[in-house]
Amino acid sequence: MGRITRLPDDLANQIAAGEVVERPASVVKELIENAIDAGATRIAITVEYGGKKLIRVEDDGTGMDPEDARLCLERHATSKISKADDLGAIVTLGFRGEALPSMASVSHFKLRTRARGSDSGTEIRVNAGIVESVVEAGGPEGTMVDVADVFYNLPARRKFLKSDGAEAAQVSRVVTQLALCYPEVGFTLTSSGKKILAVPPVTSVSDRLYQIYGDRQDLIAVEREFGGLRLHGFIAALAEQGPVRGPQHVFVNRRIVKDRTIAHAIIDSYSVATNKERSPEVHLFLEIPPDRVDVNVHPTKAEVRFREQSLVHEMVRRALGDALGKGPAPELTLRSSEIQPGRPLQPAIPGALAGGSFPSRWAPPSSNPPSSWASPVETPPASSGAAIDAPAPSSVPAVRPMIALGQFRDTFIIAMDDEGLCIIDQHVAHERVLFERIMEKLTSASLESQRLLIPAVLELPAAERAALLSKADALARFGFEVEEFGGDSIKVTSMPALLPPNECDAALRALADDLEGLDRGLRLEDALKQIAATTACHAAVKAHYPLTLEKMHHILEELRATAYSTVCPHGRPVMLRITRREIEKNFDRI
Ligand SMILES: Nc1ncnc2c1ncn2[C@@H]1O[C@H](COP(=O)(O)OP(=O)(O)OP(=O)(O)O)[C@@H](O)[C@H]1O
Ligand SMILES: [Mg+2]
């Protein structure tokens, strides 16, 4: 007698529900995705008690006829794929035929639907996976699903739900993400009677961003097409002095995903220009032919697998890197003694705007000619002979040639170009320039070192001493030679040539402090960057230090040649700009 039995459907569904339905927000996500797949133009979401009591999603999509309405609650019943080949190029958000039966097996569930053009609709009630009733019912064209008392029959799962507020916040996040990605669809979200979001349909992502987040001139547009891939969206600028964290929304083929390759490329592109640790706000949309990405790799479809992972990484990194390099210097607004008219008030709840049209406030995205970068995977045309990929040209410098006019308080260089006046922090600017130079020379192993006539001896606390000595190899690449000297001391026999001798002591103390504070598992690359930043900081001209005009010109010219010249390696701004327009406006010339 065998011991294996087939599980009854309702139990199989509950098991599947364990994967698909984690919390109210996952139910909301599945229902919205179904509505989008059904061609809805308006989707209304209502939740009570963070969705624990009720989740209702109504749409004006195609609806279902009575037969489909019954079928959609069966496991593996889907209208979206029908053969194995379809799995290779999925174009809908759903494809497994699992979401509805899963949620119906763990809740009090009601489906009301009416197919477009049909006289009447169908209403089906299901409790814990058991169909209670199927009746003909009225109602508008489209579909409404109620999922009430989620997990009421699985108390162990229900216990894992968080507070109503925390669950409501997750729901709101999911709705916001889907709303960002589907600007042509109108969304409303009502939570415990309060309208949280109301965004009518618009025609572009930038308009939708405006509806949700208000006017965000601080974000930079990204737009890049390469090798059949397209990346577009908006990202935080480097010079942004505000919070270093923000929402990170990454969409692949209009699907919210958490993708390590893309996340890594984002960190990489920001860390090229600044050491300041940040988790920048990004809203990025990657479009990739469906046969080059596998979406069937995660139970809630929150992850995807790229067939050409390194191509995606490289594309994202370069697109962001270039966009960041072009980020504007912060602009100073001149204030006249007149009272300025107040700025329009932001809506109390971002996105809670009623009706109306929302013209784009965004500057058109900077267009990069497709030839502005070459990927290592790009094949050169056959006629070019040698199969060597073209090196990537460096991005366009953000700074125009400027003429130094003088120095303010021996700390700031005042300069001008055709487009306005600039105030440059001499220390920060020089630090930026030296950082770039050090990193460049590090790559080509051409950093010069100077031997000290009399070795310097430094007393340091044990942890800092150990940190310096453990990174002695990395320090040697910069020209620092350090060794143990017994007791609390270390001996320094040489140091980078560009460091003024009287800075040696301070630089090494700062390095010891940096390296001690760094994570032990730190990548060598990050440690090198940290050492470069600290060395640059100590080698750079200081504030309150008089400069000749030549020296000022030199710093400006070097800065211009630097790809990322609007912030220092620690993320401080290099310069402030007063635009010509601002000056002319204040003198009533325009
Ligand atoms: N809002 C809706 N409007 C019209 N048809 C719908 C709607 N929701 C579901 N359906 C139909 O019911 C079927 C089953 O839905 P379900 O969400 O269970 O599976 P799926 O979307 O096909 O795949 P997945 O499990 O990956 O979401 C869908 O394929 C679709 O035909
Ligand atoms: Mg679905």
Determine if ligand 1 sits within 6 Å of the CB of residue 99: yes
User: What is the pLDDT, as a whole number, of residue 224?
Assistant: 92
Q: Which residue has the tokens 């070192």?
A: 449
**Residue nearest (by alpha carbon) to ligand 1 atom 27:** 94
Q: What is the pLDDT along the chain (590 residues), one digit of tens a residue?
A: 689 888 888 888 788 777 789 999 999 999 999 999 999 999 999 999 999 999 999 999 999 999 999 999 998 889 888 888 888 888 899 998 999 999 999 999 999 999 999 999 999 999 999 999 999 998 899 999 999 999 999 998 899 999 999 999 999 999 999 999 999 999 999 999 999 999 999 999 999 999 999 988 888 999 999 889 999 999 988 764 445 678 899 999 999 999 999 998 998 888 766 666 678 899 999 999 999 999 888 888 889 999 998 889 989 988 998 888 766 666 676 655 443 343 333 333 333 332 333 332 222 333 333 322 223 333 333 333 333 373 333 444 445 688 999 999 999 999 998 888 989 999 999 998 898 888 888 877 778 889 988 888 999 888 888 888 988 988 999 999 999 998 889 999 999 988 888 888 889 888 888 887 765 666 677 778 888 888 999 999 999 999 999 999 999 988 888 755 677 767 678 888 888 888 888 888 87
Q: Which of 272, 563, 239 is nearest to 397 (CA)?
A: 563
Distance CA 328, CA 217 (A): 11
Determine if ligand 1 sits within 6 Å of the CB of residue 60: no
Distance CA 254, CA 394 (A): 31
Q: Which of 177, 53, 35 is nearest to 99 (CA)?
A: 35
Structure token pair of residue 106: 């763990």
Determine if ligand 1 sits within 6 Å of the CB of residue 72: yes
Query: C-alpha 334: how far from its chain's center?
Result: 33
List Cβ neighbours of 365 (8 Å cut-off, separation of 6 or more): 221, 222, 223, 232
Q: pLDDT tens digits for 8-51?
A: 888 887 887 777 899 999 999 999 999 999 999 999 999 999 99
**Burial (Cβ within 10 Å: 0-12, 13-18, ≥19) of residue 130:** exposed
Structure token pair of residue 488: 């609390």
User: What is the pLDDT, as a whole number, of residue 57?
Assistant: 98
Q: Is 455 left (phi over 0), alpha (psi -120 to 50) or beta?
A: beta
Structure token pair of residue 149: 């008392």
Structure token pair of residue 177: 């993400």
Determine if ligand 1 sits within 6 Å of the CB of residue 59: yes
Angle CA 387–392–395, to nearest 5: 165
Please tell me whether residue 316 adopts helix, strand or coil conformation.
helix
**C-alpha to C-alpha distances, 407 to 113, 410, 418, 422, 552, nearest whole angstrom:** 73, 6, 19, 11, 8
Query: C-alpha 95: how far from its chain's center?
Result: 27
Q: Are 292 and 219 spatial neighbours (Cβ–Cβ below 8 Å)?
A: no
Distance CA 582, CA 491 (A): 55
Q: Give the atom of ligand 1 at the shortest distance from the alpha carbon of 81.
A: 22
Q: Which of the 8 DSSP states describes residue 204?
A: S
Instruction: Compute the radius of gyration of the chain from its Cα atoms.
Output: 30
One-letter amino acid of 478: F
Ligand 1: distance of its center to the CA of 144 in Å?
Answer: 12
Parallel/antiparallel/unpaired status of strands 305-306 and 142-148: unpaired
Distance CA 428, CA 574 (A): 6
How many CA within 13 A on the CB side of residue 386?
A: 3
Determine if ligand 1 sits within 6 Å of the CB of residue 38: yes
Mutate to test the pocket of ligand 1, among 72, 74, 95, 141 (most ligand atoms within 8 A of CB): 72
Determine if ligand 1 sits within 6 Å of the CB of residue 93: no
Determine if ligand 1 sits within 6 Å of the CB of residue 426: no
Q: Give the atom of ligand 1 at the shortest distance from the alpha carbon of 143.
A: 1
Q: Which phi and psi (to 5°) does residue 312 adopt?
A: -65, -45
Q: Which residues surround ligand 2, an ion (CB under 5 A)?
A: 34, 94, 99
Query: Cβ of 431: how many Cβ atoms within 10 Å?
Result: 24
List Cβ neighbours of 57 (8 Å cut-off, separation of 6 or more): 28, 31, 32, 35, 43, 44, 45, 46, 144, 145
- Single pTM value for the model: 0.67
**Residue nearest (by alpha carbon) to ligand 1 atom 8:** 34
Pseudo-torsion of CA 388, 391, 392, 398, nearest 10°?
-160
Distance CA 89, CA 283 (A): 25
User: What is the pLDDT, as a whole number, of residue 334?
Assistant: 66
Q: Are 366 and 224 spatial neighbours (Cβ–Cβ below 8 Å)?
A: no
User: What is the pLDDT, as a whole number, of residue 239?
Assistant: 62
Determine if ligand 1 sits within 6 Å of the CB of residue 35: yes
